[in-house]
Every structure is written in C-alpha cells, then in structure tokens.
C-alpha cells in the first residue's frame, strides 16, 4: 500500500501562497489605486495534484495463498499489477490525500471459488479436494488522510521551531473489497497527530502517532456453516479492537548530485499497527479452532528511487509530469496475522508445531511509472 505527500512540503507551499497576498497598508496607496485594483482573492485550494500510476509488485504475498513446490517447499509469491489514482491538495487549514488502487494477482493468489491455489475444498462434501485453476484475484483498496495544521487553526507560528515545521490533527479511513474466497471487506478509521519536519534539499519527514480501529471486515472461513471453525461467526463479519498505530513518510531530492544529474529523488514510508485482538475477532483465541492472537503489523516501503523523466527530457518546467521509479517493499505479519502460527500463514507440522509458508511476510521489488495531469 503507497502512503501520501504530507504537511511539511504542503504547509510551506500554503504559507507562501497565503503570505503572498500582500501586507501593504491602505494608507500607502492612492485612493484611486485602491478603487481600481482590488486585492486578488485567495483560491480555496492552494495546490491540487492528481496522478495515475501503473506499477508491478514482483513477489507479493497473500495470506492463505501459496503453492507447493516439487521438493515439498512452499511458494507464496504472486506477481501483482497495480493501477492507481492519487489526489493531493493543500487548502488554508491543511491537506487532503486520497488514493484508490486496483491490484490484479496471478494464479498463485486465486479468486473465488478457489479456497487455495489450485483447488476448491468443499466442507459439505467431507472436505473433498477438487482440482481447479482459478483466475488471479482482484482487489480494490482505497484510503484517505486529512490534516489540519495547528499553525493555521490558531493563526500562529508557535508550532514552527528548528526542523519542526508544524503539528497537525490527522484523520483518515481505509476500505477494500476483493473477490477471493476469504471475501475481505476492510473498514478502518485513524485519528491522531502528525509532526512535520524539514529535511535538506526541499525534503520532509512526517511522523503520525494514531488511534487505529478496524471496526469491520469479513472472513468466509469463520462463517457458520462453512465447517472451518467452531465456534463460528453467523455472517462471517469480524470486528477488531481499537489499537495504536504510527505512520511515517519522507521525501528528499538528491540535490547533492551534479546539476546535470539532478533528476533523482528518494522517498519512503513505514507503518506500525498494534495488536487488535484475535485474527478472527470477536472469536476467542483457540489453537484447536485455528484462532490465534494478532501480532504487531509492520508495513513499509523503506526506499523508493524516482527518476524525473519529464524534467530530463523537457526541462524544469515539466518537472515530475512523468516519473519512473523503483522501490523495495517489506511487510511482516500482514494484516496483523502471526506469520509463524496463523492458519493463513502456516501449516501443521510434526508434534503440533506450525510450519510457516512465508505467505504473511512480503519482501519484494516494486516498480512503476506515474503521470501527473
């Protein structure tokens, strides 16, 4: 999941736009000049930035999705094509960010009715296995984040000191839908603070301690009548406990490069999400029923290297109209699932132990092209 541009750069742009309206006193201007030249109105949106991207995750993973290698090992990797739209704006009191992405997997992450790669299992037929080749799954994931700067709300500069650029209130929400057998339908909200810091070369670093509540989701395997767990959930809808989260991101131009090579920048993000109950909340933890406590989730893209192709081809005026980039993704305990024990992440081993399939730890290169319009 890409995070978002944030307040450090945004507030600098916003403050510049607000102060550029002018502070000359009316007494300094002739009366006729005042009458003829009314001050320009400040636009509601100081910055509006819309982009579309196509990207490719080479070795993504999906809990519950893996195939068995000829040597008996596990192959959890699935390639994903990603189509994204992002919107970012700055207004007088803060910023808004929205993104929606479509993820298209290969066959190692199957769409329903396959319950796992390569087959359908029917609980109502004695858990008989029927070979099948289901299409790769499709997922749509959207999120938004909005900030409200304290400097702007309280009309002050008290929250700008040293590298600290601003403190903001932050709110947001995530939602997804997919056509896997699991049938996820995630809904969560976040709220908290964001601290924005300046970095060299027009860069920024933001850190946001948040409350995170995944108040709704869905798990077909836990639904009563599916035969997968007992006790079970009547409609398969899960609801997790509120917990903590910390989201960070950064951006910096590589301004130390020679002038002829100043087309590169680096950016990245990381998010930590606390334990939120069991992996099938509100069902209680029970090894016999395959329900395990959740773990701290770590979702990151620690570094992305971006080449400003449009600036290189057409000059500064067209900077970041076309970006080509490559990144590294690392995601452990995906969706809060215990990567060593959860049923979607492991299989039964000897002596009651669990053997990890690798399906809940993602480590992959990620590359794409982004176009601004």
Confidence of residue 39 (pLDDT cuts 50, 70, 90): low
* CA angle (362, 367, 370) in 5-degree steps: 130
Confidence of residue 141 (pLDDT cuts 50, 70, 90): very high
- Contact between residue 242 and residue 189 where contact means Cβ atoms under 8 Å apart: no
At residue 12, the pLDDT reads: 36
Note the pLDDT tens digit of each residue in 64-120. 999 999 999 999 999 999 999 999 999 999 999 999 999 999 999 999 999 999 999
Note the pLDDT tens digit of each residue in 241-265. 999 999 999 999 999 999 999 999 9
Q: Rounded to the nearest 5°, which phi and psi values hold at 354?
A: -115, 140
Q: Which of 49, 143, 51 is nearest to 91 (CA)?
A: 49
At residue 27, the pLDDT reads: 34
Place of tokens 């909200």: 189
- Contact between residue 356 and residue 345 where contact means Cβ atoms under 8 Å apart: yes
Residue 11 pLDDT > 70? no
At residue 125, the pLDDT reads: 66
Domain coordinates in residue numbering, the chain: 7-372
At residue 28, the pLDDT reads: 38
Reduced to 3 states (helix: H, G, I; strand: E, B; else coil), residue 275 is coil
Which string of DSSP letters, residue by residue, matches 177-232? EE-STT----EEEEEEEEEEEEETTTEEEEEEEEEEEEEEEE-GGGBTTSSS-SS-
Reduced to 3 states (helix: H, G, I; strand: E, B; else coil), residue 274 is coil
Here the tokens at position 340 are 């060593």
Q: Helix H segments across 269-315?
A: 309-314
Confidence of residue 43 (pLDDT cuts 50, 70, 90): confident
Tell me which of 2.40.230.20, 2.40.430.10, 3.40.50.2300, 2.40.50.140 is the CATH number of domain 7-372: 2.40.230.20
Helix, strand counts (H, E) of the chain:
4, 19
Query: pLDDT averaged over the chain?
Result: 89
What is the pLDDT averaged over residues 293-314?
A: 98
At residue 372, the pLDDT reads: 98
Q: Rounded to the nearest 5°, which phi and psi values hold at 288?
A: -60, -30
* CA angle (335, 75, 78) in 5-degree steps: 60
More confidently predicted of 142 and 43: 142
Can you tell me the distance from the alpha carbon of 81 to that of 102, in angstroms, rounded to the nearest whole number? 8
């Amino acid at each position: 999941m890409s995070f978002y541009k944030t307040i450090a750069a945004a507030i600098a742009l916003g403050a510049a736009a607000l102060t550029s309206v002018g502070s000359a006193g009316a007494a300094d201007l002739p009366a006729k000049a005042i009458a003829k030249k009314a001050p320009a109105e400040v636009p509601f949106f100081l910055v509006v930035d819309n982009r579309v991207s196509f990207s490719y995750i080479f070795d993504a993973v999906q809990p519950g999705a893996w195939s068995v290698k000829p040597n008996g090992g596990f192959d959890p990797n699935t390639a994903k094509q990603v189509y994204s739209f992002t919107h970012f704006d700055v207004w007088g009191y803060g910023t808004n960010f929205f993104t929606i992405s479509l993820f298209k997997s290969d066959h190692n992450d199957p769409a329903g009715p396959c319950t796992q790669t390569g087959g359908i299992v029917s609980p109502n037929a004695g858990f008989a296995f029927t070979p099948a080749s289901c299409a790769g799954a499709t997922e749509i994931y959207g999120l938004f984040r909005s900030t409200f700067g304290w400097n702007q709300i309280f009309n002050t500069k008290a929250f700008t000191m040293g590298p600290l650029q601003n403190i903001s209130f932050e709110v947001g929400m995530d939602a997804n839908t997919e056509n896997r057998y699991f049938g996820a339908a995630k809904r969560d909200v976040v709220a908290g603070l964001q601290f924005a810091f300046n970095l060299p070369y027009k860069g920024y670093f933001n850190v946001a301690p948040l409350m995170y509540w995944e108040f709704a989701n869905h798990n077909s395997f836990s639904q009563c009548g599916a035969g997968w767990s007992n006790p079970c959930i009547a409609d398969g809808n899960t609801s997790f406990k509120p917990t903590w989260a910390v989201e960070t991101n950064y951006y910096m131009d590589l301004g130390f490069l020679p002038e002829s090579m100043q087309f590169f920048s680096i950016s990245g993000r990381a998010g930590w999400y606390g334990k939120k109950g069991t992996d099938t909340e509100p069902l209680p933890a029970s090894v016999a029923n395959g329900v395990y406590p959740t773990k701290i989730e770590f979702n990151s893209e620690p570094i992305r290297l971006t080449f400003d192709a449009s600036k290189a081809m057409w000059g500064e005026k067209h900077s970041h109209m076309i970006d080509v980039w490559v990144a590294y993704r690392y995601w452990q305990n995906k969706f809060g699932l215990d990567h060593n024990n959860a049923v979607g992440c492991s299989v039964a081993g000897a002596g009651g132990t669990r053997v990890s399939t690798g399906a809940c730890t993602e480590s992959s290169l990620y590359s794409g092209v982004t176009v601004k319009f």
